């Protein structure tokens, strides 16, 4: 096993779909397939891809909110998939989640104070007075004043609700935070504030962060390492500069072209991503991206490309990565 702080090996998640009633057979939905990733302590991994690519499912698997169908997830050398009951509850203090919808994630019958205090109460941290002090300190750290602590979620704005959700996530001083589309439900004017708050807390607390988003500009802003997912698989993973400044997989290239930011110098030079994401119930043979890839060859339907090292600190799953990049980066003539 590697020495990485978080290490995923061959992680997959399959759901049985349909199959109820006479004569109906269940189909297998491959939400996540054969994902192997390593994250060093203190790093931020950005997980990016279109809606439905499996990134939120992968976040839930890392958080042990769902059990993987296959593979292992080691945190600090311990396989989380082997834990259950009290042992898993004890480890959960070390990894917490920030959810997409701040309203849905908060109990409407609890005040902000009670919500932030809940994990401290659950884990019997300190005395009542110590917990109150921790709640006030944590609230202040996320930009909430004493006046917010007596309010219920419906009395708070979306941004304030997300600050409460973040306070709850960091109250136990975890090592790892998984943020699943943590700003996408917020007004654009608020997104940057919450994003900067997460980045600041990460630095102050020495957190390891998994940042899940469909928004490449957000991922580029916060990440050290980026993993690009397509139909449940990682198709490109590497340091943020390599992936965003010199994307190697045709999917990463088109995803960046379809994004208003984050590489203005390269915007508008290539066609936006077309076509629909294929159904994970019936994924294409070979390379899952072949139905949308302008470079597909017969080999692409016959053989699944594996992640292989490509040009520096990055891996790419494409049979024709070198050829594609030679063609795309060739200077235009005429």
75 lines the binding site for ligand SF4 (CB under 6 A)? no
Question: Which residue's CB is nearer to ligand SF4, number 216 or number 320?
Answer: 320
> Least distance from C-beta 279 to ligand SF4, angstroms?
17
Q: Which of 295, 212, 272 lies closest to 45 in space, CA to CA?
A: 212
- How far is the C-alpha of 327 from the C-alpha of 334, rounded, in Å? 16
> Least distance from C-beta 292 to ligand SF4, angstroms?
8
Interface pattern 219-258 for ligand SF4 (x via CB under 6 A)? -------------------------------x--------
Question: Which residue's CB is nearer to ligand SF4, number 16 or number 327?
Answer: 327
| DSSP secondary structure code for residue 272 in this structure | P
Site size toward ligand SF4 (CB under 6 A) is 13
277 lines the binding site for ligand SF4 (CB under 6 A)? no
> Least distance from C-beta 310 to ligand SF4, angstroms?
11
Point out which span in 70-78, 170-178, 239-247, 319-327 binds ligand SF4 (CB under 6 A). 319-327
- How far is the C-alpha of 42 from the C-alpha of 175, rounded, in Å? 8
Q: Collect contacts of 288-293 with beta carbons under 8 A, ≥24 apart.
A: 288/230, 288/231, 288/232, 288/233, 289/230, 289/231, 289/235, 289/249, 289/250, 289/251, 292/251, 292/254, 293/250, 293/251
> Least distance from C-beta 284 to ligand SF4, angstroms?
9
Question: Which residue's CB is nearer to ligand SF4, number 122 or number 322?
Answer: 322
Question: Which residue's CB is nearer to ligand SF4, number 88 or number 302?
Answer: 302
Question: Which residue's CB is nearer to ligand SF4, number 262 or number 305?
Answer: 305
- Of residues 305, 307, 314, 325, which one binds ligand SF4 by CB under 6 A? 305
Give the helix ranges, DSSP H, for the chain: 55-62, 85-92, 102-105, 112-122, 128-141, 146-149, 158-170, 188-205, 216-222, 240-245, 250-257, 298-302, 321-329
320 lines the binding site for ligand SF4 (CB under 6 A)? yes
Q: Specify the DSSP element, H or E, that contains 10.
A: strand 6-17
- How far is the C-alpha of 316 from the C-alpha of 167, rounded, in Å? 37
- How far is the C-alpha of 36 from the C-alpha of 239, rounded, in Å? 16
Q: Footprint of ligand SF4 on residues 285-304 (CB under 6 A)? A: 287, 289-290, 293, 295-296, 300
Q: By the criterion CB under 6 A, which residues form the site for ligand SF4? A: 250, 287, 289-290, 293, 295-296, 300, 305, 318-320, 324
């Amino acid at each position: 096993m590697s020495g990485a702080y978080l290490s995923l090996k061959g992680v997959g998640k399959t759901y049985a779909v349909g199959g109820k009633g006479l004569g109906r057979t269940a189909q297998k939905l491959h939400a996540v397939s054969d994902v192997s990733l390593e994250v060093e302590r203190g790093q931020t991994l950005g997980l990016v891809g279109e809606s439905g690519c499996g990134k939120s499912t992968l976040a839930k698997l890392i958080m042990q909110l769902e059990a993987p169908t296959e593979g292992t997830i080691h945190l600090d050398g311990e396989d989380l998939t082997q834990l259950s009951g009290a042992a898993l509850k004890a480890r959960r203090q070390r990894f917490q989640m920030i959810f997409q919808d701040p309203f849905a994630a908060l109990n409407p019958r609890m005040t902000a104070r009670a919500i932030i205090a809940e994990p401290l109460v659950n884990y019997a941290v300190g005395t009542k007075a110590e917990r109150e002090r921790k709640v006030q300190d944590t609230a202040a750290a996320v930009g909430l004043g004493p006046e917010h602590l007596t309010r219920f979620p419906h009395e708070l704005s979306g941004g304030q609700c997300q600050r409460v959700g973040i306070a709850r996530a960091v109250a136990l001083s975890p090592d790892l935070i998984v943020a699943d589309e943590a700003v996408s439900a917020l007004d654009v004017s608020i997104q940057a504030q919450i994003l900067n708050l997460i980045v600041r807390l990460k630095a102050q607390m020495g957190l390891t962060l998994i940042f899940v988003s469909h928004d490449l500009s957000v991922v580029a802003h916060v990440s050290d390492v980026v993993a690009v997912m397509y139909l449940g698989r990682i198709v490109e993973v590497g340091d943020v500069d390599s992936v965003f400044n010199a994307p190697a997989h045709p999917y990463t290239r088109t995803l960046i072209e379809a994004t208003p930011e984050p590489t203005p110098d390269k915007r508008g030079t290539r066609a936006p991503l077309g076509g629909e994401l294929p159904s994970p119930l019936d994924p294409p043979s070979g390379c899952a991206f072949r139905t949308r890839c302008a470079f597909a060859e017969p080999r692409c339907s016959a053989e699944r490309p594996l992640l292989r090292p490509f040009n520096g600190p990055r891996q790419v799953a494409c049979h024709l990565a070198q050829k594609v990049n030679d063609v795309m980066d060739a200077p235009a003539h005429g």
